[in-house]
Amino acid sequence: MRAVIYLTNFWEWSGGMMTYLYWTNGGRYINMNDPAHPWPEFPDFVSAFYSNARAVGMYHDYVRAVVTRTNSITGMRYIDDPVIMSWQLANEPRPGGSEAVGHRQLPAYFAWIRNTAALIKSLDAKHLVSTGSEGTQGCLGSENCVIRAHELPEIDYLTAHIWPQNWGWADPENLAGTTPTAEANTRNYIAKHIALATRLGKPLVIEEFGYPRDGGSFEPGTPTSYKDRFYRVIFDAVLESVRRGGPPHRIELLGLGR
């Protein structure tokens, strides 16, 4: 097993960018699940992180501390540790939620990627660096956005996440009726990102994906027939691309959930 260590989070469940903003903007904060702030207010608010010099500075201090850390158990420096596969700038960084805010933040977003990746490489030349992006779904639906975020020499590979329920492709209460559409969209999404990886000449890692159990239940013993179908779609798409001579692929068994 190898570790991909993400260094902050666009979403609030592990602190992340919203917390850095809270520490530097006078205590202003939005809860993602607050009905008083419906989507896309949360991602639009969080995207201010990229242009907040104090917030990014605190984040970079954390990056330096983690990347240069020595494991207190093994005595090995992280930069020498083969268990670490990659440093990841963030979990699912997005330039924003709405088109207007996202496009306005793109220059700061790309600068944050460039500056952070360069910082990590200056501290650790031995490990890979990835963005943690979902792909086009987290980049305003734009292939050009994904290209610009990953064309830097300091970014070693593309990432893609696939969450059909979260993205409205699959309804857990009607998996029989919505799974065919979810599967078709998933195949198209993978094919799109294989093409982007080929264009950039870099590997593609499908590092997060998941699907509901039958009926959307979380109870132990609930069948996983639709989840199993969904996993087969992903594995088959990767295998077919490899057989056709596509870019190197890796499937990270992360975030499989539900």
Token couple for 104: 């306005």
For residues 226-254, one letter each, b for 16 or more C-beta atoms within 10 angstroms of the residue's C-beta and e for the rest, the string is bbeebbebbeebbeebeeeebbebeebee
Per-residue pLDDT of the chain (258 residues; tens, 9 = 90+): 899 999 999 999 888 999 999 999 999 999 999 999 999 999 999 999 999 999 999 999 999 999 999 999 999 999 999 999 999 999 999 999 999 999 999 999 999 999 999 999 999 999 999 999 999 999 999 999 999 999 999 999 999 999 999 999 999 999 999 999 999 999 999 999 999 999 999 999 999 999 999 999 999 999 999 999 999 999 999 999 989 887 766 655 444 443
Q: Where are the beta strands (DSSP E) in 32-187?
A: 84-88, 128-130, 158-162
Rounded to whole angstroms, the Cα distance separating 40 from 31 reads 12
String of DSSP letters for 154-169: T---EEEEE-TTTTTS
Q: Return the residue matching tokens 């933040």.
A: 105
Contact between 186 and 231 under an 8 Å Cβ cutoff? The reply is no
pLDDT of 220 reads 93
The predicted model scores a pTM of 0.93
What kind and span of H or E run contains 136? none
